[in-house]
Amino acid sequence: MTITRLNIIQLYRDILKYSKTLKFTDKDYFLHQVKKEFKENKHLTNTEEISYHFNRGKNFLKNKRLL
């Protein structure tokens, strides 16, 4: 599967939506970390690295925890 810019933006929005459901986590810290991760990986060009980080985000949403 080719990961497009729209896929990345949708993942970002989905994670931000998920942050609204958090109860026992500091939401500000969580949002800061999410934004930091996306900003740090904004300039990736290697498709394998992009795929790795994209799948990591999808798995986070699926499992509701980091792997």
Rounded Cα gap, residues 20 and 2, in angstroms: 29
Q: What is the pLDDT of residues 8-42, one digit of tens each?
A: 999 999 999 999 998 888 899 999 999 999 999 99
Rounded Cα gap, residues 16 and 30, in angstroms: 9
Using the predicted structure, report yes or no on whether residue 62 has a pLDDT greater than 70: yes
At residue 66, the pLDDT reads: 59
Which residues are CB-contacts of 4 (< 8 A; sequence separation ≥ 6)? none
Using the predicted structure, report yes or no on whether residue 60 has a pLDDT greater than 90: yes
State the sign of the Cα–Cα–Cα–Cα dihedral 23, 26, 31, 33: negative
Using the predicted structure, report yes or no on whether residue 67 has a pLDDT greater than 60: no
Q: What is the pLDDT of residues 45-58, one digit of tens each?
A: 999 999 999 999 99
Grade residue 65 by pLDDT with cuts at 50, 70 and 90.
Answer: confident
